[in-house]
């Protein structure tokens, strides 16, 4: 094992760590080493100083997810120290001398596995210089005083892995020759030269290469600032998503030991390289995403049948029994190697806690000819992202509990947009209930996006509730099934692939409005899937009453916003719209309709209600934009035996509609035009 304490030089940088009193969340055991009457035990300020450390860990408890116990030590910095504060992981794991690694250190490993790298079980060590003036928790910042909670968060962040282990020559913790395997941080693996499409990684991250974990860049980048072509940037998938670009890293010339590389170059950020008096900071959204890039809050299922809480028995934690894994940060655990060349398997980690932060990513894979059943016995789980990537020929099942997407326990939004991403060819069935929340009014998200480049079918058979929206993208089939109605009130938008509505007849598959964009198809798999009051907006897509046999439904108003299609299935069934909405745009093509002009359909039918007593006049513009496949363009409303209910049918040519508007009775006109049309057909 290797021990390291990192100190931030110069003017200070802010740091955050969380402690929580909630059972089963990360537990922070904090020991203060100062003698009585000094430092953290000063008779006047000692309690305030200790409270400030606790406040920092409590804040991080709202950001981090985990179940382990982390042991921290704090003491007063030496009298000649030139820094505000310092903190770092107590240990990094030793690996074979010919192996490179990317590690987060002992704080990360303790939080995620409840095991300790060091023989003394100390995971993080920190120092505070009380020769400076400090404001403590609960106090208003004042000039010439530094906010201790802010500084503590910043420093503990370094101990959590927000730190570079490379020096200005590219050497790692073992001081190996650059270009050969060494011990670096997970933070290092995301460092790049340049920020654009031609950005190049500074480290070998191919775990199948014997030189995995070696510096392959040019060390001049560490003093190149943030030039878009040659400067230093952090490019991780989550931080780039949240920040919107590569994150600029502090790389001054000359190199500043203790500050260079391990900080972002953004003076609004908590992890900026300096802080002034009278400042309070907390993590920005992209800084939380950087933690997720390092591996925090990211869980991988081991693709076997089992329970989410395997390895947790009350207060007894046994990571060896857990079915969750991490591909980042842990390289040695209980006598086995992980995440290094020759030992590429992800390391076991304890199950998610998922009760406070929603900044959690759950990954599920699979392969072969059999599927697995993954049972959520945690209960209600908060998360932002569910990644599905299986090549198995049998479906995998995720069952139990409830998923709350994209909202933290305090009501604030997740930093990642809530998504389910289907990335594989294998099918997934998720029976868990889901809650979608609209947090857009407080800078969050409108709801849940379900998409991805995979082709595997995804079935959601639980109850979906909440105020949020549901957006379907990607070319795969998303099926909403089950016996309990979905009641979420946000709009359902389909822009790619097929959304199959297949709840038990009479149980709504969606609770609000429906929008179908170009490239999207919505198919009824059973009767009565859509709410009677929700608007159906056709914006280039297709609404199908059934893939084969058609299904009956009563819908809200029809809003034709672009040329779109209604595809009728076979057999007797009907779609009934409650009027129209908006100004009709484009052509409404109706396929699968059978019958004769000016006559009721003989199989699938389309009805409208709430369109007044003279709809052929009032809706003439809409009718002229309807095209029944196999018939000339144009349509007319026929009266039915039900007062106020009209059936939409084709006419032979648009002039027929004008005749109706001129005052000719619909039924008489229909028969007359039918005879004329048949006569013309006979003469051809």
**Tens digits of per-residue pLDDT, 536-554?**
999 999 999 999 999 999 9
d(CA 101, CA 115): 19
Phi, psi of 384 (to 5 degrees): -110, -25
Mean pLDDT of 440-448: 97
- Sign, CA dihedral 409-411-416-420, equals positive
Mean pLDDT of 345-356: 98
d(CA 132, CA 213): 40
Q: b/e per residue, 83-107, with b = 16+ CB within 10 A?
A: bbbbbbbbbbbebeeebbbbbbbbb
Q: How far is CA 645 from the centre of its chain?
A: 45
Is 659 a residue whose pLDDT tops 60?
no
Is 663 a residue whose pLDDT tops 80?
no
Checking 168-173 for CB contacts under 8 A at 24+ apart, the result is 168/219, 168/222, 168/223, 168/255, 168/257, 168/260, 169/219, 170/202, 170/215, 170/217, 170/219, 170/222, 171/215, 172/100, 172/213, 172/215, 173/2, 173/4, 173/92
Tell me, letter by letter, the H, E, C secondary structure of 113-159. HCCCCCCCCCCEEEEECCCCCEECCCCCCCCCCEEHHHHHHHHHHHH
pLDDT at site 372: 98
d(CA 114, CA 111): 6
d(CA 442, CA 605): 44
- Would you state the structure tokens that stand for residue 137, as one six-digit string? 């928790």
Mean pLDDT of 477-489: 98
Is 1 a residue whose pLDDT tops 90?
no
Mean pLDDT of 378-386: 98
Is 10 a residue whose pLDDT tops 80?
no
pLDDT > 70 fraction of the chain, expressed in percent and rounded:
92
Radius of gyration of the chain (CA): 31
Q: How far is CA 653 from the centre of its chain?
A: 51
Nearest to 458 by CA among 490, 502, 401: 502
pLDDT at site 174: 97
Is 657 a residue whose pLDDT tops 60?
no
- Please count the other Cβ atoms lying within 10 Å of the Cβ belonging to residue 343: 17
d(CA 283, CA 59): 10
The pTM (predicted TM-score) of the whole model is: 0.92
d(CA 158, CA 575): 60
Q: Model confidence over 398-427: pLDDT tens digits?
A: 999 999 999 999 999 999 999 999 999 999
pLDDT at site 24: 55
Q: For the chain, what is the mean pLDDT?
A: 92
Q: Are 566 and 575 in contact (CB under 8 A)?
A: yes
Nearest to 53 by CA among 41, 65, 64, 44: 41
Mean pLDDT of 5-13: 33
pLDDT at site 78: 95
d(CA 32, CA 640): 84
Mean pLDDT of 159-173: 98
pLDDT band at 11 (very low <50, low <70, confident <90, very high): very low
657 versus 189: the higher-pLDDT residue is 189
d(CA 90, CA 390): 38
Q: Could you identify the residue written with the tokens 């003469």?
A: 683
pLDDT band at 653 (very low <50, low <70, confident <90, very high): low
pLDDT at site 344: 98
Mean pLDDT of 287-292: 98
d(CA 69, CA 675): 86
Q: Model confidence over 21-80: pLDDT tens digits?
A: 333 599 999 999 999 999 999 999 999 999 999 999 999 999 999 999 999 999 999 989
pLDDT band at 141 (very low <50, low <70, confident <90, very high): confident
Q: Which helix (H) or strand (E) holds 336?
A: strand 336-337
d(CA 203, CA 194): 14
d(CA 104, CA 294): 8
d(CA 261, CA 165): 9
pLDDT band at 142 (very low <50, low <70, confident <90, very high): confident
pLDDT band at 679 (very low <50, low <70, confident <90, very high): very low
Is 429 a residue whose pLDDT tops 60?
yes
């Amino acid at each position: 094992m290797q021990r390291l304490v990192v100190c931030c030089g110069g003017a200070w940088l802010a740091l955050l760590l969380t402690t929580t009193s909630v059972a089963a969340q990360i537990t922070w055991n904090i020991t203060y080493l100062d003698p009585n009457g000094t430092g953290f035990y000063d008779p006047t300020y000692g309690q305030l100083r200790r409270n400030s450390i606790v406040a920092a860990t409590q804040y991080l408890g709202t950001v981090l997810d985990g179940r382990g116990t982390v042991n921290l030590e704090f003491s007063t910095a030496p009298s000649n120290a030139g820094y505000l504060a310092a903190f770092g992981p107590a240990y990094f794991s030793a690996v074979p001398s010919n192996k490179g690694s990317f590690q987060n250190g002992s704080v990360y490993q303790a939080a995620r596995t409840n095991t300790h790298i060091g023989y003394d079980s100390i995971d993080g060590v920190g120092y505070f210089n009380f020769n400076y003036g400090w404001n403590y928790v609960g106090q208003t910042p004042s000039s010439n005083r530094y906010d201790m909670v802010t500084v503590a968060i910043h420093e503990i962040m370094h101990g959590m892995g927000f730190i570079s282990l490379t020096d200005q020559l590219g050497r790692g913790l073992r001081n190996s020759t650059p270009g050969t395997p060494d011990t670096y941080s997970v933070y290092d693996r995301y460092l790049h030269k340049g920020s654009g499409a031609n950005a190049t990684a500074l480290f070998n991250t191919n775990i199948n290469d014997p030189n995995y974990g070696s510096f392959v860049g040019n060390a001049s980048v560490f003093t190149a600032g943030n030039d878009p072509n040659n400067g230093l940037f952090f490019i991780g998938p989550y931080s780039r998503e949240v920040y919107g670009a590569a994150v600029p890293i502090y790389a001054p010339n000359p190199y500043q030991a203790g500050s260079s590389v391990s900080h972002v170059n953004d003076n609004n950020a908590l992890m900026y390289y300096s802080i002034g008096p009278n400042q309070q900071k907390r993590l920005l959204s992209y800084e939380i995403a950087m933690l997720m890039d390092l591996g925090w809050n990211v869980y991988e299922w081991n693709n076997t049948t089992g329970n989410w809480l395997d390895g947790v028995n009350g207060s007894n934690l046994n990571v060896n029994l857990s079915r969750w894994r991490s591909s980042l940060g842990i390289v040695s655990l209980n006598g086995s190697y992980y995440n290094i060349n020759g030992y590429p398997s992800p390391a076991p980690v304890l199950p998610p806690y998922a009760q406070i932060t929603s900044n959690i990513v759950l990954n599920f894979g699979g392969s072969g000819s059999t599927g697995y059943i993954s049972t959520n016995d945690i209960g209600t789980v908060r998360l932002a992202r569910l990644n599905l990537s299986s090549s198995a020929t049998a479906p995998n099942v995720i069952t139990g509990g409830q998923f709350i997407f994209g909202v933290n326990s305090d009501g604030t939004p997740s930093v990642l947009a809530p998504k389910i991403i289907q990335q594989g060819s294998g099918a997934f069935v998720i029976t868990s209930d889901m809650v979608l929340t609209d947090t857009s009014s407080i800078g969050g998200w409108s709801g849940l996006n379900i998409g991805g480049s995979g082709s595997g079918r995804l079935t959601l058979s639980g109850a979906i509730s909440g105020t949020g929206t549901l957006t379907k993208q990607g070319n795969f089939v998303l099926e909403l099934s089950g016996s309990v109605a979905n009641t979420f009130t946000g709009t359902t938008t389909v822009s790619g692939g097929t959304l199959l509505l297949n709840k038990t007849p009479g149980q709504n598959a969606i609770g609000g409005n429906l929008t179908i964009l170009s490239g999207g198809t919505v198919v009824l798999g059973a009767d009565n899937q859509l709410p009677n009051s929700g608007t159906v907006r056709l914006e280039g897509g297709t609404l199908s009453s059934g893939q084969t046999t058609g299904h009956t439904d009563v819908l809200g108003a029809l809003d034709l916003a672009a040329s779109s299609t209604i595809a009728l299935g076979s057999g007797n069934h009907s779609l009934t719209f409650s009027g129209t909405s908006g100004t009709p745009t484009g052509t409404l093509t109706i396929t699968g309709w059978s019958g004769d002009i000016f006559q009721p359909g003989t199989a699938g039918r389309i009805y409208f209600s709430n369109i007044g007593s003279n709809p052929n006049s009032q809706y003439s513009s809409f009718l002229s934009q309807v095209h029944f496949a196999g018939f000339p363009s144009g349509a007319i409303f026929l009266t039915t035996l039900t007062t106020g209910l009209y059936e939409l049918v084709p006419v032979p040519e648009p002039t027929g509609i004008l005749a109706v508007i001129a005052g000719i009775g619909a039924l008489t006109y229909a028969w007359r035009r039918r005879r004329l049309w048949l006569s013309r057909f006979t003469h051809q």
